[in-house]
Amino acid sequence: MAPKLPQASPPPGNTGAPRGKRRGSPLDYAGHGVKFLGVSVLSGVLLAGMALPAVGALGLTAKNTAEGFSNISDDFKTPPLTQATQIFDAKGGLIAKVYERDRTVLTADQMSPYMRQAQVDIEDARFYEHGAVDLKGVLRAISKNAESGTASQGASTLTQQYVKNVNVEKAGDDQAAVLEAQRKTLGRKIQELKVAIKLEEDLTKDQILTNYLNITFYGHQAYGIEAASQRYFSKTNKDLTVAEAATLAGLVQNPSQYDPVRFPDNAVKRRNVVIDKMLENKHITADQAKEAKAAPLGLKYKDPQNGCITAQAGMGFFCDYVRHVVKQDPVFGKNAAERKKFWDQGGLNIYTTLDPDKQAAAQNAVTSKVKVTDPVSAAATMMEPGTGKILAMAQTRPYGLEPAKNQTVVNLNVDAAMGGGNGFQPGSTFKPIIAAAALENGMPPTKSYPSENRIEWPTMKTCEGTWKNNERGDKRYVPNESKSEVGPYELKQAMALSVNTYFVQMEQEMGLCPVKQMLDKLGITTTAAGEKIEVVPSITLGTKEMSPLTMANVYATFAARGKHCTPIAINKITTVDGTDVKVPQTSCTQAFSEQTADAMNTVLLNVTEKGTGATLGLEDGRQIAGKTGTTDKKKAAWFSGYTPQLATAVWIGGPTGGVEMKNMKIGDTYYGADGVYGASGPGPIWKTAMDGALKGAPKETFQTIDIPDPAPKVDPNATPPATPPADPNAGGNPPPVPNPGMPGTNAGGVIGGGFTFPPGVIGGGDGGNGNGNGNGRGRH
């Protein structure tokens, strides 16, 4: 417990009330007829070794003395000090603290009385007695400097120091402006003195002292006494002891020389000087002084914790995304300069949409299935359907600046403009968008196409005209993944098998303009790199690079029955004084009808029950829907899936592309010549993440429609089986095989009421390296 304050009389003028005019000394009155002593006198003082011009002022404090000075701006009275901003998750947990300058502004009653007294006693003991200039201090400094033959002692009042600090603060990161604010030129000193005199007219001494204590630098990136108290003693300023307050007060003169971390002996000696000053001015008793000087330095030092690099539990990438939102969204300023100033100014409490439990589940999934040292990485984004809220954003490699430790600051979950990379081809996870466009344009969900094993890219109508196939050789054709994939197929089976030619024929029938219109409704107008999307036939194979955030939002739209909401990361922002700040709001529109959404949910539910995602069921058996995707040469693999209340997109691949995921170990799993598929690579990550994120959540079901299964294919050359005896209890289609075949196995599987998968073709999604002319080879 801090010792009690002595019952000593306050220093003259220190009443805590606004200071009115006071009767001046003869020296004060000597200045009444003087606006300001000539530059020659001030110059002479400086040449005599004074650190500050003061002789000419003669204690100018009366109102009429300031007449003729231009009014000073409010920025000097109550400057908008740069402060730390705190970023919180959706449950109020601190994600990170970010700042240009680590500072927390306090009011006078939030400050330690010891701190206020110690700072005055060591810096300007007569602060409450003199005006903007302390004549006695000036004369004393002249004498001392004359004796020593140096300019070792200055005569700056606390008010003058405050003015200088404000000029430095206003200079910000402009080093030239900082140096100019610190230059000891005659013009600069005259200007500072003029401002100091005006401040003493407009503010009380207590107000000036409070401002001074909030702006002053205390070393180790700590600005103001609250940041200093937390940095050196890990406590709020209000709780400082006499010894601790004296230690901080002593730093101001030279934060490097009296640094208690590097030079503890110097710090103790300086602290004791401050304690002696406090005793001399009767602000503490002799017993308190003795106790304080006998106390150990008692540091509980905490390194500066600044920026998203300090974020909790893998939240650094989301923290960085929030920073990009503030610096880019027009709600925070009409141009980039205004938004940067808003961010740099700080002093904000940013409450985000990040759910810490779901973040933990996603982070565990991407780090447990893929190791930091693996040649590939994984990323996962979770979104809440129908709200646009980003609930989690995780990736394998940690947020940091040391590539040698596999760290990165590139957020693989988002577009380049928001701190991400150039995205990755999403493969067959893009096919549901094409299907939704077709259903919205009147195609029945039982639509059948011949779906030959290999076809030429057909001529297609576009919004502007006609697209024609001008390629040669193999690029002229689009194949299915397996030679056994031969139609006809209907939508449920084609989606479950990820049949390339089916979706190309779907595009041909409806044209590419409905596809473009659907992309616009889903907010997909550019690639992750920011390039305008050219809608060509190969887009159905997922050849345009996307981010996991974009794909998570697409599947959140399916989950929300066609309601598309723009992503948001911020729920609320308040300033340190509790004022609300306007934040971006999600914009929700009906991208497609609920009927279309219900049909798509039925189709994608079939993928996870009987198709390529059949091995990804969750532990609690709740309904899931989704789509696998694997690009050409296995350079990227995806699984995007959802429940009615949560959508998650997972990507795995080389962080900068180019890694063929074959014949390698990823995490604890070895992938042979067949390589990674959507169901075998990202699928298990998705399952782990969703199991953790939905633990204890209510089980919700999809709105579905009845889409009849086609009759099983019959080989006309096969011998028909014998007719079994009639079973009075039998009815409906035969049950599906619980585990359809996986890549690299010889097992087949049953789908959609009787369709049998060819051996070894069930796997992840598809996609390809289709060029602008629409070429690409799909993958399951």
Tens of pLDDT along 214-241?
A: 999 999 999 999 999 999 999 999 999 9
Residue 397 parent element (H or E): none
Instruction: Fill in the DSSP letter of residue 389.
Output: B
Report the pLDDT value the prediction gives residue 697, as an integer from 0 to 100: 97
Report the pLDDT value the prediction gives residue 715, as an integer from 0 to 100: 59
**Spatial distance between the Cα atoms of 515 and 540, rounded to a whole number of angstroms:** 9
Amino acid letter for position 761: V
Characterize 342-370 residue by residue with b for buried, 16 or more Cβ atoms within 10 angstroms of its Cβ, and e for exposed. ebbbbbbbbbbbbbbbbbbbbbbbbbebb
Report the pLDDT value the prediction gives residue 152, as an integer from 0 to 100: 44
The average pLDDT across 122-135 equals: 85
pLDDT digits (tens, 9 = 90+) for 324-352: 999 999 999 999 999 999 999 999 999 99
Instruction: Fill in the DSSP letter of residue 253.
Output: T
Residue 14, pLDDT > 50, answer no
Report the pLDDT value the prediction gives residue 79, as an integer from 0 to 100: 73
Report the percent of the chain where pLDDT is more than 70. Answer: 77
pLDDT digits (tens, 9 = 90+) for 426-482: 999 999 999 999 999 999 999 999 999 999 999 999 999 999 998 888 889 999 988
**Spatial distance between the Cα atoms of 427 and 768, rounded to a whole number of angstroms:** 6
Report the pLDDT value the prediction gives residue 188, as an integer from 0 to 100: 73
Residue 353, pLDDT > 70, answer yes
Instruction: Fill in the DSSP letter of residue 718.
Output: S
pLDDT-derived band at 213, boundaries 50, 70, 90: very high
- Decide which of 187 and 503 is more confident: 503
Structural contact between residues 228 and 104, judged by C-beta atoms closer than 8 angstroms: no
Report the pLDDT value the prediction gives residue 419, as an integer from 0 to 100: 95
Report the pLDDT value the prediction gives residue 721, as an integer from 0 to 100: 53
Report the pLDDT value the prediction gives residue 137, as an integer from 0 to 100: 59
Nearest CA to 603 out of 496, 746, 676, 482 is that of 496
Strand-pairing partners, residue 777, are: none
Structural contact between residues 303 and 393, judged by C-beta atoms closer than 8 angstroms: no
pLDDT-derived band at 70, boundaries 50, 70, 90: low
- Decide which of 98 and 744 is more confident: 98
Residue 706, pLDDT > 70, answer yes
The average pLDDT across 414-421 equals: 96
Q: Which two tokens stand for residue 270?
A: 């300086």
Residue 546, pLDDT > 90, answer yes
Cβ neighbours, 10 Å, residue 669: 13
Amino acid letter for position 106: L
Return all residues near 663 (Cβ < 8 A) that are at least 6 apart: 671, 672, 673, 675
Report the pLDDT value the prediction gives residue 143, as an integer from 0 to 100: 54
**Spatial distance between the Cα atoms of 29 and 643, rounded to a whole number of angstroms:** 82
Residue 198, pLDDT > 70, answer yes
Instruction: Fill in the DSSP letter of residue 729.
Output: T
Nearest CA to 41 out of 125, 124, 166, 138 is that of 138
Residue 40, pLDDT > 90, answer no
Residue 456 parent element (H or E): strand 454-456
**Spatial distance between the Cα atoms of 438 and 506, rounded to a whole number of angstroms:** 7
The average pLDDT across 640-668 equals: 94
Residue 194 to residues 33, 91, 100, 362, 721, Cα–Cα distance (Å): 16, 50, 30, 59, 106
What is the pairing mode between strands 646-653 and 664-666?
unpaired
Report the pLDDT value the prediction gives residue 138, as an integer from 0 to 100: 58
Residue 534, pLDDT > 50, answer yes
Residue 33, pLDDT > 80, answer no
Residue 767, pLDDT > 50, answer no
- Inter-axis angle of helices 264-280 and 242-251, nearest 10: 110
SS (H, E, C) 256-322: CCCCCCCCHHHHHHHHHHHHHHHHHCCCCCHHHHHHHHHCCCCCCCCCCCCCHHHCCCCCHHHHHHH
Look over the chain and give the mean of its residue pLDDT values, rounded to a whole number. 83
Strand-pairing partners, residue 351, are: 88, 572
Residue 119 parent element (H or E): helix 113-123
